[in-house]
Amino acid sequence: DTGVSQDPRHKITKRGQNVTFRCDPISEHNRLYWYRQTLGQGPEFLTYFQNEAQLEKSRLLSDRFSAERPKGSFSTLEIQRTEQGDSAMYLCASSPGLVSYEQYFGPGTRLTVT
């Protein structure tokens, strides 16, 4: 399978703990996106990378959130000092070039903060 993969698929953590998610995009795609989705809502944009450069961050991405994409390949999203409001599905997507309306999404990581 050469689609976008995410790991882990599910994560349960206690409030205050740090968590890190990984996304492996489709190999030839140079754009990578992170979204967050809560129940009953559409995905909300968090940030995106063009190769290794982080080009845009949403206001939703508080100081507790950090994303990296070393070497322009896989990406990680870390949440520090998790809060119950961070509980959501975190989706990663990739696209091959400048035009972003056709993005390929991974299955997501469901985070539950207790």
Partner 1 sequence: LAKTTQPISMDSYEGQEVNITCSHNNIATNDYITWYQQFPSQGPRFIIQGYKTKVTNEVASLFIPADRKSSTLSLPRVSLSDTAVYYCLVGMGYSTLTFGKGTMLLVSP
Q: Which residues bind partner 1 (CB under 8 A)?
A: 4, 33, 40-45, 48, 56, 91-93, 98-108, 110
CB of 106 to partner 1, least distance (A): 5
CB of 102 to partner 1, least distance (A): 5
Nearer to partner 1, 26 or 80 (CB): 26
Nearer to partner 1, 16 or 97 (CB): 97
Nearer to partner 1, 17 or 112 (CB): 112
Kindly calculate the radius of gyration of the chain based on its CA atoms and give it in whole angstroms: 13
CB of 113 to partner 1, least distance (A): 18
Nearer to partner 1, 22 or 80 (CB): 22
Tokens of 100: 């972003």
Q: Which residues pair with 90 in a beta bridge?
A: 36, 109
CB of 16 to partner 1, least distance (A): 27
Residue in the structure block whose two tokens are 């940030």: 47
Residue ranges with strand state E in 51-108: 53-57, 65-68, 75-79, 88-95, 104-105
